[in-house]
Amino acid sequence: MNKPGNTDTRFDPSAADAKWQARWDAANTFAADSDSPKPKSYVLEMFPYPSGRIHMGHVRNYTMGDVLARYKRMRGHEVLHPMGWDAFGMPAENAAMEKGVHPGGWTRDNIETMKGQLKQLGFALDWTREFATCEPDYYGHEQALFLDLYEAGLVYRKESEVNWDPVDMTVLANEQVIDGKGWRSGAEVEKRKLNQWFLKITDFAEELLEGLGTLDGWPDKVRLMQENWIGKSKGLQFAFDLSNGEKLPVYTTRPDTIFGASFVAVAADHPVAQALDSEEAREFIALCKRGGTTAAELETAEKLGFDTGLTARHPFTGADLPVYIANFVLMDYGTGAIISVPGHDQRDFEFATKYGLPIPRVVAASADEADKPFTGEAEAGEGVLVNSDFLDGMDVEDAKREVISRIEAMGAGQGQTVWRLRDWGVSRQRYWGTPIPFIHCEKCGVVPVPKEQLPVTLPEDVDFQTPGNPLERHASWKHTTCPECSGEAVRETDTLDTFVNSSWYFLRFASQPADKPFDREEVAKWLPVEQYIGGIEHAILHLLYARFWTHALSAIGKLDFAEPFASLFTQGMVTHETYQLGDGSWLSPGEVRKDGADWIRIEDGAPVTTGRVVKMSKSKKNVVDPDAIIGQYGADAVRWFMLSDSPPERDLPWSEAGIEGCHRFVQRLWRLFAQSDANASGEDKPLARKTHQTIAAVAEDIEALSFNKAVARIYELTGMAEKAAPSASRNDAIDALLLLSSPMMPHLAEEAWSLAGHDTLIADANWPEVDPALLVEDEVTIAVQHKGKLRDTLTAPKGASKEDLEALALASEKVQRSLDGADIRKIIVVPDRLVNIVT
């Protein structure tokens, strides 16, 4: 270390932040070189939607990725750490409607603002690869990929009942309907029939499920959520002979309970139900359709049925089972018809109870409980088969196999796998999205736009004063000629779901040729993403779609790997206390202050109640704007706060006191450096040890993404160095502290590094080497226990023998007092750790 003696003892972020950000930019420090011989690391955070301003959630997400990216660089990796914009989507159109601005202009303005904010935070991003998905040089390639998938038979169009959001006037995917309401608008979703474009994600159901097993770097929670979403179930499909001579296929996962069947039920929109022409039947079907789909309604919905008068012949007993229309049977799962076994399925139990149908027992805990009555609910568990003819005595699994093989032998049905996953409807009746590259011709039908005519670009002159799709209303845009017959034709006016945009952006970051979406070899240099970081809210939608695109592109030979993200980390939210007036209205943190033990509104002293600490949201006004905080404390303090205290997967409660503390530490570390004596000499062994232990531990912590622990260790070493007398060891400790904290506080680290006489950037420095000899202590503290409780601690040389430790422990006065002459039965010695005396 070589530092001028008169270094200012205050660190001024307002000068240093901009200075170093400009240096990194000028030197292209963080541009990733695909041809570098170094090992490659791709660190990616979920790219933001340009909603207007960066919020604290972004800051936390990108700070974590940044620390990892900078750390990897210091570890000699060539790091790809890009940033871009998920720039299509409805808020832009809402802004257009509300403020009369163009969605494109609004979006591009937001991008500029937010990019400036990200730059202020000093992220080590490769801005040369930046793109926005709303520009033709991105979405044009997306259209090409969509056509590739079409050629591979993975894109199709069909009329289907869709979830129509009456407020946003658009179609929603199943995944975008939450409790029967639109995920964005919150409006009650209606059913409509429309011609829709679909992606055949179901072709990959098995693959996507199996792939989860290879994703060791993913949280179990997310894998499980995806597994449940894909929803594989194995069972039996077989057909009943109906009394009207028709066949009725049903699906069941419990073929073992077939002898317990007491009725058959079909969905209201099942053909068997639709074919009934009585007035009562039509009324009942209408009643079912009206039934709400919200969680609360489903929970409390009474089981309702309508006896069709038809009967179904049991394949083994020959008994005639009544056929009902039931409101709890879903048309789009299995065959839309079920075989009902009330004894062993709760829904069937409720239904049978209501309509007085028999509830036979066919599974019991043991054979002698074959006639045990039910206690008010169905028993869905394991057991042994009873009252079931040839199945009696078998366990559930054997009985399933037996029934399936007998049904198969009879030719009445077969074992079958059913999935919960549906194909992905990607049509949106929206302007601000990727135009779907197809043309409708009266003569030739639906014709893909030839690739050489891509991109199909959005028209700029559109109006948003009328609801619905502006592309549909545009005077000229949709009128074109058919690529096949050259006759008059119209363009598809639907645009793609924005989840398509985010399903391949990570490929485009890795490789962006002008003439194609990506270069396969170039992509292979970087992918899969080594560490992907984002919010848990994307556990299913985005992550499943992105996996599907990668699997699909791999299947059609465009990629050499199927899974895009080797490791996934889902960070917690940034939360803040909430403030409310007596009338329930929310106040922002800036409007209130603490007055003694109470909280009041600054403006008029009105009493304020403090509420739960919840996710920052505009509606509860508990937001803190990053810009203001950066202006006040500088980027490093904000970054440090984002990493401190809370484990990254948990929520982080923002507090004024917390950021103050971080600011204090920034200054404290700076002061330690500024007030050090560069010419000091001499060794301080304990400090040197602590330094090397810290280097090793911080590296481990960062690799495990345990930033809060890394932060705590840096505090510890700082504290020890502050108290130590000047020495060469102390200067080494300060050097190490600058290096270790440089991924977290890069501006301070650069400033100090340059003042210390380095003419290179600390961003380009290597992670400090650990001296293994200094990792081990030569003296250790030994705990001495008696009766399982700590009685004394003593110091012993590292590696002392059991006998020595035993003797040392027994020599302790405190231990002797505790023993009080009792007989010693046993002494347990854990070397370098403890001695436990048992009496």
Partner RNA sequence: GCGGGUGUGGCGGAAUGGUAGACGCCGGGGACUUAAAAUCCCCUGAUCCUUGAUCGUGCGGGUUCGAGUCCCGCCACCCGCACCA
Residues in the chain: 839
Largest CA distance in the chain: 108
DSSP 652-711: EE--HHHHHHHHHHHHHHHHHHHT--TT-----HHHHHHHHHHHHHHHHHHHTT-HHHHH
**H or E segment to which residue 384 belongs:** strand 384-385
Q: Work out which of 178, 370, 680, 810 binds RNA, going by CB under 7 A.
A: 178
Tokens of 368: 């002698």
Q: Looking at residues 383 to 402 of the shown chain, list those that interact with RNA (rule: CB under 7 A).
A: none
- Interactions with RNA, residue window 649-678 (CB under 7 A): 650-653, 655, 657-658, 660-661, 664-665, 667-668
* Terminal-to-terminal C-alpha distance of the chain: 56
567-626 positions binding RNA, by CB under 7 A = none
Identity of the residue, 490 or 783, whose beta carbon is nearer to RNA in the bound complex: 783
Among 696, 783, 810, 819, binds RNA (CB under 7 A): 783
Question: CA–CA separation, 743 vs 631, rounded Å?
Answer: 20
Binding residue for RNA, selected from 398, 645, 677, 703, defined by CB under 7 A: 645
Task: Confirm or reject binding of residue 831 to RNA (CB under 7 A).
Answer: no
Minimum CB distance to RNA, residue 246 (Å): 18
Instruction: Tell me which of 298, 367, 725, 824 binds RNA, using CB under 7 A.
Output: 298
Residue carrying the six token digits 């000229």:
476
Question: Would you count residue 231 as binding RNA (CB under 7 A)?
Answer: yes
793 scored as a contact of RNA (CB under 7 A): yes
For residue 274, give the amino acid letter.
Q
269 binds RNA (CB under 7 A): no
Residues 710-769 that bind RNA (CB under 7 A): 711-712, 715-716, 719, 722-723
H or E element that contains 139: helix 136-151
Question: Which residues, other chains included, contact 807 with Cβ-Cβ below 8 Å and sequence gap of 6+?
Answer: none
User: Does 379 contact RNA by CB under 7 A?
Assistant: no
Contacts 24+ apart (CB under 8 A), 366-371: 367/392, 367/393
Q: Which is nearer to RNA, 347 or 440 (CB)?
A: 347
> Quick one: 229 or 579, whose CB is closer to RNA?
229
- Least distance to RNA, CB of residue 724, Å: 11
User: Applying CB under 7 A, what is the total number of residues that bind RNA?
Assistant: 86
Shortest Cβ 677–RNA spacing (Å): 17
Angle of helix 635-643 relative to helix 626-633, nearest 10 degrees, comes to 120
For residues 160, 166, 172 and 178, what is the CA-based torsion angle, rounded to 10 degrees? -120
Per CB under 7 A, does 291 bind RNA?
Answer: yes
For residues 235 and 768, which CB has a smaller minimum distance to RNA in the complex? 235
Six-digit token string for 470: 């502006």
- Angle between helices 13-27 and 635-643 in degrees, nearest 10: 90
Q: Among 352-360, 459-467, 708-716, 736-744, which window interacts with RNA (CB under 7 A)?
A: 708-716
Residue 184 sits in the site that holds RNA (CB under 7 A): no
CB neighbour class for 280 (10 Å; exposed up to 12, middle 13-18, buried from 19): exposed
Residue with smaller CB distance to RNA, 370 or 540: 540
- Minimum CB separation from RNA for residue 294, in Å? 9
Looking at residues 65 to 124 of the shown chain, list those that interact with RNA (rule: CB under 7 A).
Answer: none
From 191, 192, 593, 817, residue interacting with RNA (rule: CB under 7 A): 817
The string over 601-633, giving b where at least 16 C-beta atoms fall within 10 Å of a residue's C-beta and e elsewhere, is beeeeeebeeeeeeebeeebbbbbebeebbeeb
- Which residues in 17-46 contact RNA (CB under 7 A)? none
Q: Which is nearer to RNA, 93 or 792 (CB)?
A: 792
Asked if 822 touches RNA (CB under 7 A), the answer is no
Interface residue with RNA, options 22, 31, 776, 790 (CB under 7 A) = 790
Would you say 490 and 451 are in contact if contact means Cβ atoms under 8 Å apart?
Answer: no
The verdict on 327 binding RNA (CB under 7 A) reads yes
- Listed in sequence order, the DSSP H helices in 28-135 are 56-74, 90-99, 103-120
The answer to whether residues 31 and 125 touch, using CB atoms and an 8 Å cutoff, is no
Tell me the per-residue interface mask from 328 to 357 with RNA, x by CB under 7 A, - otherwise.
xxxx-xxxx-xx-----xxx----------
Minimum Å gap between C-beta 687 and RNA is 15
Q: Judged by CB under 7 A, which of 113, 160, 253, 816 binds RNA? A: 253
Q: How far apart are CA 454 and CA 154, in angstroms?
A: 20
56 touching RNA, by CB under 7 A: no
Pick out residues in 408-447 that bind RNA (CB under 7 A): 418, 420
Nearest to 383 by CA among 400, 403, 408, 359: 400
C-alpha span between 573 and 623 (Å, rounded): 12
Q: At closest approach, how far in Å is the CB of 271 from RNA?
A: 14
Identity of the residue, 554 or 675, whose beta carbon is nearer to RNA in the bound complex: 675
Nearest residue (CB) to RNA, 25 versus 161: 161
Residue with tokens 């992509």: 523
* CB-nearer residue toward RNA: 249 or 483: 249
Three-point CA angle 19, 20, 22, nearest 5°: 70
Q: How far apart are CA 504 and CA 86, in angstroms?
A: 11
Q: Nearest CA to 665 among 709, 605, 717?
A: 717
Residue 293, class by beta-carbon neighbours within 10 Å (0-12 exposed, 13-18 middle, 19+ buried)?
middle
The whole-angstrom separation of Cα 317 and Cα 321 is 10
Site membership for RNA, residue 700 (CB under 7 A): no
Among the listed ranges 450-458, 559-567, 796-804, 825-833, the one in contact with RNA (CB under 7 A) is: 825-833
Q: How many CB atoms lie within 10 A of CB 586?
A: 16
Least distance to RNA, CB of residue 785, Å: 6
Q: Which of 133, 727, 812, 818 binds RNA (CB under 7 A)?
A: 818
Q: Which of residues 518-547 bind RNA (CB under 7 A)?
A: 536, 539-540
Instruction: Verify binding: residue 221, RNA, rule CB under 7 A.
Output: yes
The annotation status of 618 as a binding-site residue, yes or no, is yes
- Residue 233 binds to RNA (criterion: CB under 7 A): yes
Q: Which residue numbers belong to the known binding site?
A: 618
Q: Which residue numbers belong to the known binding site for ATP?
A: 618
